[in-house]
Amino acid sequence: MKHDVKEKSSDKADLQLSPGLWKESLRVLLKNPLAVISFIVFITICVMCIAAPLITDWDYTTMSMDRIHEGPSAEHPLGTDMLGRDMLSRMLYGGRATLRISFTAIFYSVFIGGVIGIVSGFIGGTVDMIIMRIIDAIAAIPTIILAIVVEYTLGFGVGNFMYAMAIALVPPFVRLLRTSVMSIMSSEYIEAARALGVSKFHIIVSHVIPNVAAPVLIYISNTAAEAILMCTIIGYIGIGLAPPEPEWGSMVSYGYNALRAYPHIALIPCLAVMLCVISLNFLGNGLRDALDPSIRDK
């Protein structure tokens, strides 16, 4: 080679591998105290709900009519509700239901929305136009009505409304993915890959998916909060799980009747929902700051 002088980057003494972008993002995320605390809070809530049988011996259906509306005590750390059931065990098992339904709904919506969004953004043209109009139509259906219709069709009270939630969460996700995929597809590195003869499948796997992963992650953490709220609202208006199955939304609604006299019955599930939603939102903001280099480097 007869280059006049080889250009070598100056700091070549260190042979260390530069950290991956994901690792770098994780490092930034861990430096954000609000995001870390939020993550710990949310994980704690999840772990407590999952480990419910280890935390409480009470059966969440056991009623005792002589001990209703009790305040916190050693026996019932969070008191009892209007049927004398242990609030702690109802909170934990109710959280199981709420979180399970919310996350299943998100899982379905991300899976379905992901496929539709990538296809729509990748193919474009008429296919994209038709898909987007269908998505617009779905987005126009109120979630509650959708939930009622789905429950009516598939059976009430056993959590079928999560399919309605999944459907309701699909449109914004498809829109996000479609625009992300389209902007990636119009970038020059995709053109370079096409010029190299890389197959469409490989372009999706090695360029499109890694590049949409970051916005998708941010979206999921923000949508999880939304899904928990949605699940609570559906439970609250009484089309959620059938009694005696506990679930935060319906617990708020039961407690609402005795709000003045015994506020803890409604406030405890409210507080749980609030903690989940706030921590997920803070986590989402932290993720956005960590994953979006244009914000991160400022």
Residues that bind other proteins (CB under 8 A): 1-10, 12, 15, 17-18, 20-21, 187-189, 191-199, 202, 206-207, 210-211, 293, 297-298
Nearest CA among 184, 185, 142, 182 for reference residue 164: 142
- Smallest distance from the beta carbon of 202 to other proteins, in angstroms? 7
Beta carbon nearer to other proteins, 20 or 142: 20
CA-to-CA distance for 71 and 21, rounded, in angstroms?
51
Select 17 or 261, whichever has its Cβ closest to other proteins: 17
- From 27, 36, 91, 88, select the one nearest 279 (Cα to Cα): 36
Output 32 or 80, the one with its CB closest to other proteins. Answer: 32
- Residue (14 or 57) nearer to other proteins, CB: 14
What is the spatial distance between Cα 173 and Cα 22, in angstroms, rounded to a whole number? 22
Q: For residues 71 and 210, which CB has a smaller minimum distance to other proteins in the complex? A: 210
Cα separation, 174 vs 78, in Å, equals 42
Q: Minimum distance from CB of 31 to other proteins (Å)? A: 10
- 53 cis-preceded (ω within 30 degrees of 0): no
Question: Of 6 and 260, which has the nearer Cβ to other proteins?
Answer: 6
CB of 292 to other proteins, least distance (A): 11
Q: Alpha-carbon distance 87 to 77, whole Å?
A: 8
Long-range contacts: 266-273, Cβ < 8 Å, 24+? 268/78, 268/87, 268/91, 269/91, 269/94, 269/232, 272/45, 272/91, 272/95, 272/248, 273/98, 273/228, 273/229, 273/232, 273/248
What minimum distance in Å lies between the beta carbon of 69 and other proteins?
A: 53
CB of 184 to other proteins, least distance (A): 9
- Supply 116's token pair: 């539709």
Q: How far is the CB of 133 from other proteins (least distance, A)?
A: 21
